[in-house]
Homo-oligomer: A and B are copies of this chain.
Amino acid sequence: MSGIKFVFLCLLLCAIIVGGLLKIDKLFGEHELNYSAAVDDIITYSLERRIGYKWLRELCDIGPRLSGSAQSMEAIKWAEKKFIEMGCDTVWLQPVMVPKWVRGTLEHAEIVKSKDHTNRKLSIASLGRSIGTDGKILRASVIEVKDFKSFASYTREDVEGKIVFFNEPFDKSIPGTFRAYGKAVQQRAKGAIEASKLGAVAAIVRSVTSKPDNVPHVGTMNSFPDSVKQIPGVAIGVEDAEFLSNLLVVEPDIEIGLQLDCSNLGEVLSYNVIAEVKGSELPDELIVVGGHFDSWDKGDGAHDDGAPCIQTMETLHQMIELGLKPKRTIRCVLFINEENGIRGALEYAKYAEENNEIHVAAIESDRGAFIPQGFNLEDSDEVLEEMQRWLPLLNKAKIDWIRKGGSGVDVSKIKNVTAKIGFVPDDQRYFDVHHSDNDVFESVNAREMQLGTAAITILTYLISQEGL
């Protein structure tokens, strides 16, 4: 052993001994002793009883929960009833005005001019905020855009009077699917607006999905600025996007006919559902858990965001059923209208600010109900290490890490929160189902969902007892 290596090892040894004298036991398992029984109870209860999974069956039976729809109101009442039945200390509906967009009953696209493919139907679905075609068939030729960024160099001459077909694929080579989504979703959010600026009559957008089937994956378009003429926008299934792209190579002059009767019906009254288990020692210090209770009107909205909402409802239920008696108040907020307005989150944030509420933490679950992997912590460096000390406990519910990262659209709106946290389950299957008919009850695995419940409940409980 070299001399310098010896010195290094001696110093390291001394540091460890002195560290020991300081009893830095918080670093090495004190929490495990205090909380391991409660943590085990939470996990056993979650996996054994599958309460949330049963609730998900009920919620999905109501139907999807588009903001302003009858089903969304039925679901809101269902959740309110659940909170009352479980014995929460407070349950209330917070009024929120939400935009009401409806798909209507007519949604049809087909090739109307082609050598071999006239009358060939296309698998499409209107995008949120889209206008309809006024009872007519909107008929036009098509120009394909393979890369949304490249559209910046298109001119009015290229586009005027045409349907712009945005066909940028979801980049499946990226390991993190949210990153691939963030890239490909630009064409859905902005495509129709940019196309309209150059005189296009409609936009057809390749579904932003990791699954190469023919199911259209919907979602919202950005609001058209007043200065830009509104035009219809639809999503197209990946298989038909590929078909159309190939056809355009051999027949650039095909025409497509679109008939849609979707429409924007102004604003209607809806609600955030809010419920609390009051803290026994510090009731004014709040820990919010929640997700968004609205969904798209395709499938059941099971992963997005039904099951994750229910995970946070179960957090309250378990506090009560397992007699955990949190020191701080735990509040579940089911935010309305995340998908096409974020009105629920804005209303809640306003309320919290006006009432000078103290939010110790806000935990969002809006990435599906897949196997837990970690928690993201937003803009809160100072509590990152504090929380990481709990990993041995969280690991029992399959949480392997706590990292800096985005929390979630809804909790990010709340001001003055010590820790904004996002629950991060595995993301590999999320965009197979997201915003589509694939997002049904059957796509949720009971064990994965219930381990997510356990992970969120454990973290919530630790924050309630230890603070941040």
Contact = CB atoms under 8 A, between A and B. Distances in A.
Interface string A442-454: 0001011001000
A172 B48 contact: yes
Given A4-B21, A15-B11, A18-B4, A428 B172 contact: no
Contact of A11 (B18, B210, B398): B18
A7 B44 CA distance: 44
Given A4-B18, A172-B48, A175-B397, A428 B371 contact: yes
A5 interface: yes
Interface centre among A4, A11, A173, A175 (most CB of B within 10 A): A175
B8 A175 contact: no
Contact of A447 (B7, B8, B12, B210): B210
A386 to B, nearest CB: 18
B398 A401 contact: no
A8 B17 CA distance: 9
A130 B126 CA distance: 57
Interface residues of A, number: 38
- List the number of copies, as a whole number: 2
A445 B177 CA distance: 14
B429 A175 contact: no
A81 to B, nearest CB: 27
Interface string A17-34: 011011000000000000
Interface centre among A7, A18, A398 (most CB of B within 10 A): A18
Given A172-B48, A175-B47, A445 B429 contact: yes
Given A175-B398, A210-B447, A428-B371, A15 B18 contact: no
Nearest to A8: B18
A175 B396 contact: yes
A391 B8 CA distance: 25
A397 B173 CA distance: 11
Contact of A22 (B8, B43, B177): B8
Contacts of A269: none
Nearest to A20: B8
Given A175-B47, A451-B175, A426 B18 contact: no
Nearest to A431: B447
A447 B427 CA distance: 10
Contacts of A396: 175
Interface centre among A12, A172, A210, A447 (most CB of B within 10 A): A447
Nearest to A448: B428
A48 B172 CA distance: 6
A174 B428 contact: no
A445 B438 CA distance: 14
A383 interface: no
Interface in A18-75: 18-19, 21-22, 43-44, 47-48, 50
A445 B426 contact: no
A400 interface: yes
B48 A173 contact: yes
A304 interface: no
A19 B15 contact: no
Report the 6 A-B pairs with minimum CB-CB distance, sorted nearest first.
Answer: A8-B18, A48-B173, A11-B15, A400-B400, A428-B447, A44-B173
19 contacts: A4-B18, A4-B21, A4-B22, A8-B19, A8-B22, A11-B14, A11-B15, A11-B18, A47-B172, A47-B173, A47-B174, A172-B447, A175-B398, A177-B447, A371-B428, A426-B426, A428-B445, A428-B451, A432-B445
Interface of A: 4-5, 7-8, 11-12, 14-15, 18-19, 21-22, 43-44, 47-48, 50, 172-175, 177, 210, 371, 373, 396-398, 400-401, 426, 428-429, 432, 445, 447-448, 451
